Structure formats: C-alpha cells, structure tokens
Amino acid sequence: MTPKKKLKKPNALGRIVRAIDAAGRDADLARRNSSDPAFRKGVQDDRRATLSKFGTVKDALADRERIERAKKKT
C-alpha cells in the first residue's frame, strides 16, 4: 500500500450490513445444528437437569412416582 492511500474507516451502513450478514450465517448454522440428534439429546438432558433443581418439579416427580407405585400395588 502506498503512503498516499490510507485505509478507509468503514461507514455505519457497512458495519450494519456486515452485522446482519453475520447474524444470518449464525442463524443458518444454528438451524443446521438443531436438527442433529446428538445436539437435541444434549439440550433435552440439560433442560431436564436444570428443571429438576426446582422444588415444584421435584414435588411433581415425587407425586408421579407415588401414583405409579400405587397403580402397581392395585
């Protein structure tokens, strides 16, 4: 690059366009990954692990086990 030529500062419109383009690529990658069975299994396991920390969910699971045991006895 010659000394007379300087790098141009990117204008605001160009930055916005690049940000939107990057967001589109990220969304496309996320859509492709979300259909992967291993990824979905990981999300499901993570969701269940997080939900199991809540008291109301623990109570509901205990109630479900109690009902199933009662059904087996009859």
Q: Are 39 and 33 in contact (CB under 8 A)?
A: yes
- Residue 6's pLDDT is what? 65
Question: Is residue 1 in some structural domain?
Answer: no
- Residue 68's pLDDT is what? 92
Please state, in angstroms and as integers, the Cα–Cα distance from residue 60 to each residue in 6, 39, 43, 45, 67, following that order: 66, 27, 21, 18, 11
Residue 5 has pLDDT above 70, yes or no: no
Structural domain that includes position 31 = 13-73
Domain count, the chain: 1
Question: Is residue 47 in some structural domain?
Answer: yes
The CA distance from 1 to 3, in Å, is 7
pTM beyond cutoff 0.75: no
List, for residues 15-65, the tens digit of each pLDDT value.
899 999 999 999 998 888 888 888 889 889 998 888 878 888 888 888 999
Question: Is residue 4 in some structural domain?
Answer: no
Q: Are 30 and 23 in contact (CB under 8 A)?
A: no
Q: Are 61 and 52 in contact (CB under 8 A)?
A: yes
